[in-house]
Amino acid sequence: MKNILKAGAATSVALHANFAGAVMNVGSVRVDDELKGSNEGADSAIQVLIANAITFLYLIAVVFALWGGFNILTAGGDEEKVKKGKTILIQAAIGLVVIFLASSIVQWIVGSILGTS
């Protein structure tokens, strides 16, 4: 009877050790792998920052174009206000072209430096 109890206790200890090892993922997955951050570096962060800035500039240019159109629509025959609205529209269109060219040039330079193009 004593031998059966000793064998049962040894088996119980072995089962508990296997269960504890399975819970802790010993040998299969390191804890560090699950806690580390993203693989993005400074270059990716800079690209995202540039893309967000360019998007913001596009938004501002469109708002100015809307403001110019609003000035023209609400001029009510006032030639000075129509002229001001047309000037704002032309400047907004030029701004959109400049933003597009600048973003294309920046993407080309960043792509050639990082070797992604």
* pLDDT tens digit sequence for 24-49: 555 555 555 555 556 667 777 888 88
Segment 47-66 mean pLDDT: 93
Buried b (16+ CB within 10 A) or exposed e, 82-113: beebeebbeebeebbeebeeebeeebeeeeee
Asked whether the beta carbons of 90 and 67 are under 8 A apart, the reply is no
* pLDDT tens digit sequence for 88-99: 999 999 999 999
Question: In the structure, what pLDDT confidence band is assigned to residue 80 with cuts at 50, 70 and 90?
Answer: very high
84 and 29 within one domain: no
94 and 59 within one domain: yes
Number of domains, the chain = 2
Determine what percent of the chain is predicted with pLDDT higher than 90.
44
51 and 31 within one domain: no
29 and 55 within one domain: no
Q: Of 110 and 105, which is predicted with more confidence?
A: 105
Buried b (16+ CB within 10 A) or exposed e, 23-53: eeeeeeeeeeeeeeeeeeeeeeeebeeeeee
62 and 86 within one domain: yes
Which domain covers residue 57, as residue numbers? 40-117
According to the model, what pLDDT value does residue 4 have? Answer: 55
